[in-house]
Structure 1
Amino acid sequence: MKKNTIDIITLGCSKNLVDSEKLMKQLEANGYKVTHDSDHPQGEIAVINTCGFIGDAKEESINMILEFCQAKEEGRLKKLFVMGCLSERYLQELTGEIPQVDKFYGKFNWNDLLNDLGKSYHSEFAIERHLTTPSHYAYLKISEGCDRKCSYCAIPIITGRHVSRPMEEILDEVRLLVSQGVKEFQVIAQELTYYGVDLYKKQMLPELIEKMAEIPGVEWIRLHYAYPAAFPEDLFRVMREHDNVCKYMDIALQHISDNMLQKMRRHVSKAETYRLIERFREEVPGIHLRTTLMVGHPGETEEDFEELKEFVRKARFDRMGAFAYSEEEGTYSAQNYSDDIPEEVKHRRLDELMAVQQEISADLTHAKIGKEFKVIIDRKEGDYFIGRTEFDSPEVDPEVLIKDEGQNLVIGSFYQVKVYDADDFDLYATLI
């Protein structure tokens, strides 16, 4: 057990990761040595940043907490703290059920942890953090919370209403990160398109992205988690006019049948969804669309599901994830619908939908053979340098493998490559 060392474990999404990175910076400013997601945690203090989004994520968070409780009981750990979405949502229950945890914090009061350690919050480091990603890219969180009230989603219950960060503060953070060597920004929020509505009384995402794109040293900007209803259309122009705004959009569509969109309270129709996809492809030629879909929501008929499969075939998404509905307490659907679709039907639908997409992904990937791309190199693994194109976000999208033939590629640098082969997911390329 290393004295003055704190291990931080982050579960869940990249928005949680940003919180962990901010906490790490504050702890270091107070004289601690901090590790992140260490395979062998050795600190005398551990902080677990939990996820509470869906059943599987909650289970993972609980298991991780119990694992560290055991380490504490065996004398391998002095103090255990828990923060994040799960403890925001179930603070009372967790405090009663897992007394081995020294203290639970929610999603927004984690800096109280510093006081409880007898330390202070350093406001001069408010926009600084200890990056846990490779030093050439960072996640940039522009807002918290969500004002949408989709039937199935617990996020607004956990995070509360949408709160945008002031634009100048975000731009200052971008400049600071660029000065530290960051070239690529993954812009994240629970819901990007609502950015600015609370502060500036209108959607300000296009303006924010344009101002970011004009900062020297910002090479790539990629947008994650947009919402289809009332999409801010000036964003098309910004993407088209600025080379460093990646032609990539992560927009969760969830479903296509009007019946389901209505039950899910998505405030968008089938016709509007098809039109939006069309607009993206007309206005931003070459754009890659990533989406997330859901099967098995209460009331989904076989007709609805067939319509969804047909949508996936027609839309030909470049990237697609899907998940089966899981009932979340406190949500509209938990209170108003009965979770009436058997688990095996949900999983059959999920498998069928992913099989349709897998074929499309393979087609689109193989269509890149013979083409040239600009890639950024993330790491070296075995005999290969591993990179990504502007159409690939870290951790979730395909990668580009370049055989190491003594070229000494620099991690975090850009190169032009030509694709010579592909499997269902990744590309193989040579340096040009």
Structure 2
Amino acid sequence: MRKGQIDFITMGCSKNLVDSEILMRQFEANGFHCTHDSENIEGEIVVINTCGFIEDAKQESIDTILELVKAKEEGRIRKLFVMGCLSQRYQKELEVEIPQVDKYYGKFNYRQLLTDLCKGDVTTCTGQRHLTTPSHYAYLKISEGCDRRCAYCAIPLITGRHISRTKDDILQEVRTLVADGVKEFQIIAQELTYYGIDIDGKQHIADLVHDISEIEGVEWIRLHYAYPNMFPKDLLAVIREKKNVCKYLDIALQHISDNVLSRMHRNVTKEETLRLISEIRKNVPGIHLRTTLMVGFPGETECDFQELMEFVKWARFERLGVFAYSEEEGTYSALHYKDDVPYEVKQQRLDAVMSLQQEISAEIEAQKVGSSMRVIIDRKESEYYIGRSEYCSPEVDPEVLIKSDEELHIGSFYNVNIIDSNEYDLYGEIIK
């Protein structure tokens, strides 16, 4: 047990990761040594940043808490603290069920932990983070919360209403991170395109992305978690015209059947969705779209599902993820719908979509053979350097595997010839 060391464990999404990074930097400014997701817990204090989005994520968070409770009881750690989405939603229940945790914090009061363990916020570190990602890229969170009320989603119950950060605050954080060597920014929010609505009633995501792209040293900007309803079309011009804004957009669509979309409270129709996808591809040639679909939502018929399959064939998404519906307490669907699609059917539908997408992805990646790409190197594994093109977000998207006799530098860009592909990844060689 190392005195003065805090081990952080982050569950769930990249938005949680940013919170952990902010807190770690503050603790370091207070004289602590911090580690993140270490395979071997060695610190005297452990902070678990939990996820409470779906049942599997909640259970994983609870299992992790119980595992660290055991470590505390065995004397391997001295203090255990829990923060994040799970404790935001279930703090009273957790305090009763797992009282061995020294203290629970929610999603928004976690900075109180600084006051409880040390002197509090160090103002000279405002905007700074202890990056847990490779030093050349970072996640940039531009807002909290969500004003959308999708029938299945518990996130608004956890995080509350949408609150945008000020543009000046965001731009200053980008400048600070660039000065620390960050070249690539993954811009994230629960609802990216809603940015600014709470400030003056207007969407300002296009202006924000434009201004970030103007900062010297910003090489790549990638956009995550857009919403199809009220999509700001002026954003497309920024993606098309700014060279350091990646031709990439993560836009969760969930379904295409009007029956299911209506029951989901998505406030968008099939026709509007098809028109939007066509408009995006027309205005930003070569753009890679990532989306998320949900199968097994209450009331989804076999006809609805086949309509979804035909949509996947038509849209040919470059990146696609699928989830089976999970009933979350307190949501509209949990209160008003019966979870009437059997688990086996949900799984069959999920497998069918992913099998179809695997074929589509293989065809799309094969078309890149013979082309050249600008690639950033993330790491080296065995005989390969592992990189990504502008069309690939870290951890979730295909990668470019490169063999090179010469040493390549992590975090540097190289021009690469694509010489082969499989269902998801590409193989390349450095252009000399």
Deviation readout 1:137-179 (Å, 9 max, x if unpaired) = 0000000000000000000000000000000100000011111
> Is the partner of 1:224 in helix, strand or coil?
strand
* 1:127-166 pair list within 5 angstroms: 127-166=127-166
Which residue of 2 is the match for residue 379 of structure 1?
379
Asked if 1 retains the 8 angstrom alpha-carbon contact of 2:239 and 2:247, the reply is yes
* 1:24-423 pair list within 5 angstroms: 24-405=24-405, 407-423=406-422
Structure 1: distance between partners of 2:399 and 2:391: 10
> Is the partner of 2:121 in helix, strand or coil?
coil
Question: Shift of residue 201 of structure 1?
Answer: 1.9
> Is the partner of 2:82 in helix, strand or coil?
strand
Question: Shift of residue 7 of structure 1?
Answer: 0.2
Deviation readout 1:372-397 (Å, 9 max, x if unpaired) = 10000001111111100000000000
One-letter code aligned to 1:115: T
One-letter code aligned to 1:33: H
> Is the partner of 2:215 in helix, strand or coil?
coil
One-letter code aligned to 2:412: S
One-letter code aligned to 1:431: I
> Is the partner of 1:95 in helix, strand or coil?
helix
**Which structure 1 residue ranges, 5 or more long, are not aligned?**
none
Question: Shift of residue 119 of structure 1?
Answer: 2.5
Structure 2: distance between partners of 1:109 and 1:138: 23
> Is the partner of 1:377 in helix, strand or coil?
strand
Question: Shift of residue 309 of structure 1?
Answer: 0.4
Structure 1: distance between partners of 2:143 and 2:180: 23
Structure 2: distance between partners of 1:55 and 1:111: 27
CA RMSD of aligned residues (A): 0.6
One-letter code aligned to 2:418: V
> Is the partner of 1:181 in helix, strand or coil?
coil
Question: Shift of residue 200 of structure 1?
Answer: 2.6
> Is the partner of 2:327 in helix, strand or coil?
coil
Deviation readout 1:322-356 (Å, 9 max, x if unpaired) = 00000000001011101111111111111111111
Question: Shift of residue 117 of structure 1?
Answer: 1.0
> Is the partner of 2:253 in helix, strand or coil?
coil
Structure 2: distance between partners of 1:120 and 1:247: 41
> Is the partner of 2:110 in helix, strand or coil?
coil
Structure 2: distance between partners of 1:409 and 1:271: 47
One-letter code aligned to 1:320: L
Asked if 1 retains the 8 angstrom alpha-carbon contact of 2:224 and 2:249, the reply is yes
Question: Shift of residue 116 of structure 1?
Answer: 1.3
Question: Shift of residue 199 of structure 1?
Answer: 1.1
> Is the partner of 1:394 in helix, strand or coil?
coil
Structure 1: distance between partners of 2:236 and 2:76: 54
Structure 1: distance between partners of 2:196 and 2:245: 19
Structure 1: distance between partners of 2:339 and 2:101: 34
> Is the partner of 1:328 in helix, strand or coil?
coil
Taking structure 1 as the reference length, the TM-score comes to 0.99
Structure 2: distance between partners of 1:307 and 1:325: 17
Q: Which portions of structure 1, spanning 4 or more consecutive aligned residues, are displaced by more than 3 angstroms?
A: none
One-letter code aligned to 1:421: D
Structure 1: distance between partners of 2:92 and 2:122: 29
Structure 2: distance between partners of 1:418 and 1:55: 43
> Is the partner of 2:57 in helix, strand or coil?
helix
One-letter code aligned to 1:219: E
Structure 2: distance between partners of 1:49 and 1:276: 36
Structure 2: distance between partners of 1:329 and 1:119: 38
One-letter code aligned to 2:261: L
Structure 1: distance between partners of 2:398 and 2:104: 37
Structure 1: distance between partners of 2:78 and 2:3: 10
Which residue of 1 is the match for residue 5 of structure 2?
5
> Is the partner of 1:4 in helix, strand or coil?
strand
Structure 1: distance between partners of 2:142 and 2:331: 25
Question: Shift of residue 124 of structure 1?
Answer: 2.7
Which residue of 1 is the match for residue 430 of structure 2?
431
> Is the partner of 1:109 in helix, strand or coil?
coil
Asked if 1 retains the 8 angstrom alpha-carbon contact of 2:27 and 2:114, the reply is yes
